[in-house]
Amino acid sequence: MHTWLPDAHVEAPTGGSVILAAITLKIGGYGFLRFALPITPDASAMLDWLIIALSLVAVIYIGLVALVQQDMKKLIAYSSIAHMGFVTLGFFIVFGLHRHTGSLSGATMGIEGGMVQMVSHGFISGALFLCVGVLYDRVHSRQIKDYGGVVNTMPVFAAFMVLFGMANAGLPGTSGFVGEFLVILSSFKASFWIAFLASFTLILGAAYTLWLIKRVIFGEVGNRHVAELQDVNNREIIMLSLLAAAVLLLGLWPDPLTSVMHATADNLLHHITATKLL
């Protein structure tokens, strides 16, 4: 549905891309939590198959689209669509879980997983767009083919980008793993095949992210422009360090975030299970 998103990211400056990916993109998920699910639970339950199908399309098809991108910003933008598919899947798998098992065991896990994924994706996608901005400020190109061997001239920057890339691929110990893992666990309780298809994001996410890192960061120095690159300055180090700390903290110790979600998730489940048609 979000065919405008990659083009918007390409045209936007770095700050605009960070705000769009880290904040604005989450408004849709917030709308489901705040309005669609609690106000219209019957319609949400009736159309949950459609949202789940679109979520799986986002996870699998858009992941394949990301694989063939040559523009770093477009690749990360398509990656954002794929990861946000987990958010809607976590929210709407609740109805399938109740339908197939007769209980809501694991439903809270799906909702909280979607919420954690929104927060985590804000950190990771914002950081990746900042990394692209750092390179663009120096080389004035976002094309992957114009880079190669950046680690040889920008080792500190390379460490940050590899960390954020691993988080984007869902590496355990980073925030990218927590939300997706919770949603997949909840999906298993509802349907093995939904969870099986959703798990493809772990393969596709690793494929397009690691291939991007390999072509941009590692290998021999690609050209004269890469050979003349200057490593990140203090301002850039501070910004990337704060995001790296958030990604690692949420990945290693998510309890401070998930503990404040329990009451909200339980209250939302109360509204979801109460029909409004009587």
Query: pLDDT digits over 126-165, tens only?
Result: 999 999 999 999 999 999 999 999 999 999 999 999 999 9
Return the minimum-mean-pLDDT range out of 10-14, 110-114, 151-155, 172-176: 10-14
| pLDDT tens digits, 43-68 | 999 999 999 999 999 889 989 999 99
Computed from CA positions of residues 94, 100, 102, 105, in that sequence, does the dihedral angle turn out positive or negative? Answer: negative
Interaxial angle between packed helices 107-139 and 175-190, expressed in degrees from 0 to 180 and rounded to the nearest 10: 140
Mean pLDDT calculated for residue range 215-233:
91
Residue with tokens 């950046």: 150
251 domain-assigned: yes
Q: Flag whether pLDDT at 2 surpasses 80.
A: no
Ranges of H-type helices in 68-216: 72-101, 107-139, 155-168, 175-190, 192-198, 200-216
Position 171 confidence tier, pLDDT thresholds 50, 70, 90: very high
Contacts of 237 by beta carbon, 8 Å cutoff, 6+ apart = 156
The end-to-end CA distance of the chain, in Å, is: 34
- The average confidence (pLDDT) of the chain is 90
194 domain-assigned: yes
pLDDT of residue 1: 58
Q: Flag whether pLDDT at 5 surpasses 90.
A: no
Look up the pTM and report it. 0.92
Mean pLDDT calculated for residue range 169-190:
92
277 domain-assigned: no
Mean pLDDT calculated for residue range 101-108:
76
> Domain tally for the chain?
1
CB 84 within 8 A of CB 58: yes
Interaxial angle between packed helices 48-67 and 72-101, expressed in degrees from 0 to 180 and rounded to the nearest 10: 150
Q: Flag whether pLDDT at 181 surpasses 80.
A: yes
134 domain-assigned: yes
52 domain-assigned: yes
278 domain-assigned: no
Extract the tokens encoding 240.
């990337």
Domain of 172 in residue numbering reads as 4-272
pLDDT of residue 8: 87
pLDDT of residue 159: 96
**pLDDT > 70: percent of the chain:** 98
Return the minimum-mean-pLDDT range out of 13-17, 31-35, 104-108: 104-108
